[in-house]
Amino acid sequence: MVRLQKMLIDHLGIERLLTVTGGSMGGMQALEWAASYPDRVVSAIPIATTARHSAQQIAFDEVGRQAIMADPDWNGGDYYGKKPPARGLAVARMVGHITYMSDESMREKFGRRLREKEKFGFDFSVDFEVENYLRYRGSQFVYRFDANSYLYITKALDYFDLANGSGSLAEVFSHGNTRFLVISFTSDWLYPSYQSLEIVKALRSQNRDVAYCELPSNYGHDAFLVDVGEQTEVVRGFLASTFKANV
């Protein structure tokens, strides 16, 4: 992905980027930019991300993939022009969406409220509000996303390893002068703060210019998308100082 992005900016005649930033998978790409093309990147802001997936993160992705491939309509990936694997993709999205939220945010939003009823149905229809929410999210996702794309994107996430299997992040950051602002969120259990701190530790071991900010939020991994007030101020200040130092 990053190689293609570089080809694009080469084509556009852009010699250097003031910053490369992104959250989640976008954060991985920001890290890859700084590692592979440090002379082209003045600064990087990886947000709510990691240098490599943990076993738990891979496990969640595998559950989603298995849900898609277990749908008979997936047909080994050959479903174009036919009925798509909507049921499997919907379940994959439901699993994924659970990981984006936090226990606290789900408790505040749904609790154990029942959906338009006063007692349990015992018939496997929707009882709880959270069940209705997940089914809605899953059903809507199938209209705007391709199942095979979901499979390959999750594999790309799982395969990503900034250290290329060596285990030494410090060595990855041993060259270049890219500045870093690493941001994580307290309630993010999909990409927990310890993974951001691993990146920060590796950068500091190489005496790199790095700032780290763990922001308080109840929104889980979704925080970088919805809890943007304090995040905006942190990024604004970092970009201003980066620009001032490089004009």
Which residue from 135, 221, 210, 215 is spatially nearest to 176, judged by alpha carbons?
210
Cβ atoms 2, 29 nearer than 8 A: yes
User: What are the backbone angles phi and psi of residue 117, rounded to the nearest 5°?
Assistant: -155, 165
Please say if 102 is a catalytic residue.
no
Radius of gyration (C-alpha) of the chain in whole angstroms: 20
Cβ atoms 73, 87 nearer than 8 A: yes
Query: Locate tokens 């942190």: which residue?
Result: 234
Which residue from 217, 147, 190 is spatially nearest to 50, judged by alpha carbons?
190
The catalytically annotated residue of 188, 196, 217, 222 is 188
The catalytically annotated residue of 127, 187, 221, 227 is 221
Residues 6+ apart with CB under 8 A from 65: 92, 150, 151, 154, 155
Bridging pattern class, strands 43-47 and 20-23: parallel
Please say if 221 is a catalytic residue.
yes
The catalytic site residues sit at 24, 188, 221
